[in-house]
Structure 1
Amino acid sequence: MRTESLQRRPFQRRHLLRAAGVSISLPFFASLKASGDRPPTRSTKQRMVCIGNMLGFYPDAFWPQVEPTTTTSTLKTEGWLETKDFQWGRTTAGLEPLRDHLSVISGLDHGLKGGHFAIHAFLSGVRQIDAKSMPMANVTIDQYAADFIAGQTRFPTLTIGSESGIHQGCQLSWTRSGTRVPPIPGPQQLFEKLFIGNDAKSRDAELDRVRMQNSILDLVRDSAKDLSRGLNRRDQEKLDEYMTSVRDVEKRIALRRNWIDIPKPDAPFAQPKNRNMVEDLPLLYDLIVLALQTDSTRIATLEIGGDFNPNDLGVSGGYHGLSHHGQRTENIEKLITLETYQVEQFARFVDKLNELTDENGTLLSQTTVLFGSGMGNANSHTNTNLPVILAGGGFQHGRHLAFDPKSNSRPPLTNLFVSMLQNFGLETEQFATSTGTLRGLA
């Protein structure tokens, strides 16, 4: 599409700027009639990986067993306890060899309701529907952290997940303007992004995309100037916020331009083909390890969605249906089989990070890994007591931090995110609904 033809089009209220990966939406302006529809990081390279399960985990098999000793009374009187003497649940038993590199954290959530329609808030603490008036909308921790290391790696973040399944596919990552980050759908596309495109033809094509995006942004700026003449003060403020998002896109385009002439790493093996989520999961984890190891990115997210097919594990039934097991033993056993496989692949990923070393130590010690879900119990559609496991990052591990879900002094899960961001190198005391850092985490 040429710029000349774009200039002849009116600037619509619901206009979406979408071209070659750019996507920002114009806010609603009440005073117009509808016209159609950063602080420095520390010197060591810290990484962050967040893994989200769309349908949660069966609680009775996921959580560790806490012995009824004096520690349980501490949970009731002080609102939380820390114990190293715990037994993993059936689903998480495969994590035992990595105990010293992991912490399991129970009793925390975002205080939200909505079942499947609140899962997308797992990494933000805020539902999109509640975030429209918030300065940072429902930005997720990965995108928040990426802003502070922009330009240091070829890809600020890698968002991976399927677009199939329930509720419009992967919704794990959101920008600070409240825009969903489209995911990389499989290992074939992730491999291509990491390792393919070093030839002159690919570089020229990327330069053309950059020029196209800059032309579109020029049009947006000019159209916004015309639009601003008909706005009241409040809507002018909204437009100013929107133009801040436009400037952010400009910065990302400029940073991407800087990487066009820098060769990508050599591919370690032939490009794979997408198969199914069960078979692809180990390969996706391996590619994330390579992305971190080659410093192609320092931040990645992976969502295991509703397209995770039980039949590919030899289990009959649908994943979504099994998550609503209705307390039927047969369905619960099938669900535990699926969830155990997911935890085993997560354990394999953590182990790989721990095996790789450089002058600063293991890759795991430099990578904070969050594993969990925005769904606490899919059978009852609750978003409370979210399953959370934290690995690596130099934190003290080998323990179960248990918070009383009924305590008034219970911190929000976003407090953990503040601790993770600080560990990543950000000088921040606040993230979304947080009240500070997470006590007990060191």
Structure 2
Amino acid sequence: MKRNVYQIHRRSFLKGAGVSIGLPLLEIMSPAISYARTIAKKPPLRLCALYKGCGVNPHSWDISGGTESDFELSKILQPLAPVQKDVLVLGNLDNQGSSDHMDAPGTFMSASRHRDKNRYSFDQRIADQVGGETPIRSLQLTADNVWKQHPWLNVLSYDKSHQPMRGQHDPQAAFDSIFKNGARVSRETELVSVLDGVKDASSALFRKASSPDRQVLEQYFDSLRDVERSIEQARANGREASVDAKLAKLDPALKAGNLGERIRAMLDLIVLAFWTDSTRVASCMLANTNSRIHYDFMGVNAEFHYVSHHVRNKKVLPAYDSINAWHTGQLCYLIEKMKTLQDGSGTLYDNSLILWGSGIKHGDYHSLTDLPVVLAGGGGGQVDLGRHVRYPEARPFGNLLLTLMKLMKAPADRIGDSTGLLPGITGKANFRRANQDDGSWRITKSDGNTLTAKGLLRIRIEDDLEYYLLRLSDKSDLEIRIPFMNNHKLRFDRNVGKVVEVTGQFREREGRKIVVSLKSVVPQ
């Protein structure tokens, strides 16, 4: 018998009446005979990009204290506690752009602004390299509402010709495109379950399969049923957008229902598509940057976008933090589900890369610096997980995209404003402590009602107040309480956690200087 003779090929499908479904990696896909031992084929790598718009409250996101491998998760990241050893939290990655809703999704995927001609996103660069090996080149999903007035808000992926690739917002339609052949089956005779259509083929496969393979197949078929049920549940709880005047203005044809169930169905679908090697690249818009979805399904009767503007309305902060923590919990759900699925000698999680984050940091100021980013998945053993890496100096976010492309075996010289590969992903970063006080943090000039000072910028939130503190070398703090638009025009909030030199007007209050208007801010 020849070497590399397979009992069934890795690209085998179960086929039936209008149905064709891929299979997870099985023992019987390994060479039957190869010099007296079975050689297992190395599982492929998969990439999943999950985008959550509307930014975060930095005070509730940032991790303070601890070391690279021994740290305490922040309030918003707390839902990741069960999988803390399986994630890599990254900090001080900056993106370019004008700090508005339009730039955020595109810069997150391409490190290029929406007005730039080169929008070729990193996921599609990878798909162009590996997509030819799977039935579906890449999968684009969007769980949030579709905004026709601002089309850039709806799009994460852009192809090689820089054209937008709109995501499928109906999980059932996405499921059908992967597992059903709509061209051969009319809507009237469409099968209730894809498993009904491959009953004979699956029975034949079970007879051929080994005992471990049968366990994998049973788990796979159970997962298929679970996805179908979750899609049915999401649709059952849906409603026609025409009954909701606000949603009707967005897209009259859109069926909007329980966002939580829709996201869960889409995450399950991504897992199935990866496990069956139907595709190796997927992206999902969990919430766009101008999201008007109400989160009443989790007890928050408010729009995500509305509560993200919290500087002038501190009463919305609990709701804002709760929504962001809920989204973090969905990442935890995805990680735990992928870890249960056998994939070669490891799990599906071991052979995947997951990029989760938002295109803006501060929800109200729309800052594109120090983006909230979590990297997960073993990447085939390439990623060193269970760490918090905050870069001493700001690095281009594009460097992370460039690094992920290399890990996915689709290397490139550059993407967007990238300057090179990002250290600290495949091994320990071991950065020295950033922002060390060299004794020069002080008020360097004070003339009339104008001063110049250097120090470490921090943020403080107390009840309905949000203001800044400039830590000086003598351990005192210079208060900075400036108007919203003064802050916004200078992009002042992006400097939190950095050493800066500020110049502005101040007032005396109870013997303390308080900066009330800024003229300039210069990072040191």
Short-chain TM bin: 0.5 to 0.7
Distance 2:75 2:297 in 1: 21
Could you say which residue in structure 1 is the equivalent of 2:400? 416
Q: 1:167 aligns with which of 129, 135, 150?
A: 150
Distance 1:66 1:308 in 2: 35
Could you say which residue in structure 1 is the equivalent of 2:286? 304
Could you say which residue in structure 2 is the equivalent of 1:61? 60
| Cα distance, 1:149–1:327 mapped onto 2, change above 3 Å | same
| Cα distance, 1:397–1:293 mapped onto 2, change above 3 Å | same
> Once the 2 structures are TM-superposed, how far is the Cα of residue 344 of structure 1 from its aligned partner?
0.7
**Larger Cα-atom Rg:** 2
Distance 2:412 2:351 in 1: 19
Q: Which has the higher contact order (CA 8 A, sep 6+)?
A: 1
CA contact (8 A) 2:307 2:317 kept: yes
Distance 1:149 1:344 in 2: 30
Distance 1:176 1:59 in 2: 35
Aligned with 2:79: secondary structure? helix
Any idea what the Cα deviations from partners look like across 1:143-169, whole Å, max 9, x if unmatched? 110000132111111111135258335
CA contact (8 A) 2:56 2:372 kept: yes
Q: More displaced, 325-334 or 102-111? A: 325-334
> Once the 2 structures are TM-superposed, how far is the Cα of residue 59 of structure 1 from its aligned partner?
1.6
Could you say which residue in structure 2 is the equivalent of 1:126? 112
Could you say which residue in structure 1 is the equivalent of 2:373? 388
Distance 1:140 1:319 in 2: 26
Distance 1:193 1:307 in 2: 28
User: What is the letter of the counterpart of residue 123 of structure 1?
Assistant: M
Structure 1 segments of 4 or more deviating over 4 A?
none
CA contact (8 A) 1:128 1:178 kept: no
Could you say which residue in structure 1 is the equivalent of 2:130? 149
Could you say which residue in structure 2 is the equivalent of 1:281? 263
Distance 1:59 1:114 in 2: 16
Any idea what the Cα deviations from partners look like across 1:216-249, whole Å, max 9, x if unmatched? xxxxxxxxxxxxxxxxxxxxxxxxxxxxxxxxxx
| Cα distance, 1:97–1:201 mapped onto 2, change above 3 Å | closer
Aligned with 1:108: secondary structure? strand
User: What is the letter of the counterpart of residue 362 of structure 1?
Assistant: T
Aligned with 1:123: secondary structure? helix
Distance 1:291 1:153 in 2: 10
User: What is the letter of the counterpart of residue 432 of structure 1?
Assistant: G
Report % sequence identity: 27
Aligned with 1:51: secondary structure? strand
Say whether 1:397 aligns with 2:381.
Answer: no
Distance 1:184 1:144 in 2: 20
In the TM superposition, 1:25-424 aligns within 5 A as 44-67=43-66, 83-120=68-105, 121-130=107-116, 132=117, 137-161=118-142, 162-165=144-147, 167-168=150-151, 169-197=153-181, 200-201=184-185, 268=225, 269=228, 272=232, 273=235, 275-305=257-287, 306-326=291-311, 328-392=313-377, 393=379, 394=381, 395-404=383-392, 407=393, 410-424=394-408
Aligned with 1:338: secondary structure? helix
Distance 1:160 1:298 in 2: 14
Distance 2:334 2:138 in 1: 18
| Cα distance, 1:163–1:308 mapped onto 2, change above 3 Å | closer
Q: Unaligned 5+ residue runs, structure 1?
A: 1-41, 68-81, 203-264
CA contact (8 A) 1:115 1:378 kept: no
User: What is the letter of the counterpart of residue 146 of structure 1?
Assistant: A
> Once the 2 structures are TM-superposed, how far is the Cα of residue 386 of structure 1 from its aligned partner?
0.7
> Once the 2 structures are TM-superposed, how far is the Cα of residue 300 of structure 1 from its aligned partner?
0.6
User: What is the letter of the counterpart of residue 160 of structure 1?
Assistant: L
> Once the 2 structures are TM-superposed, how far is the Cα of residue 402 of structure 1 from its aligned partner?
0.4
Distance 1:199 1:310 in 2: 37
Paired residues in the alignment total 316
CA contact (8 A) 1:164 1:307 kept: no
CA contact (8 A) 2:102 2:114 kept: no
Greater strand share, structure number: 2
CA contact (8 A) 1:156 1:297 kept: yes
Aligned with 2:115: secondary structure? helix
> Once the 2 structures are TM-superposed, how far is the Cα of residue 327 of structure 1 from its aligned partner?
5.3
CA contact (8 A) 2:92 2:395 kept: no
Scaled by the length of structure 1, the TM-score of the pair is 0.67
Any idea what the Cα deviations from partners look like across 1:181-230, whole Å, max 9, x if unmatched? 1111032222222222267357xxxxxxxxxxxxxxxxxxxxxxxxxxxx
Aligned with 1:90: secondary structure? coil
Could you say which residue in structure 1 is the equivalent of 2:241? none
Distance 2:389 2:175 in 1: 37
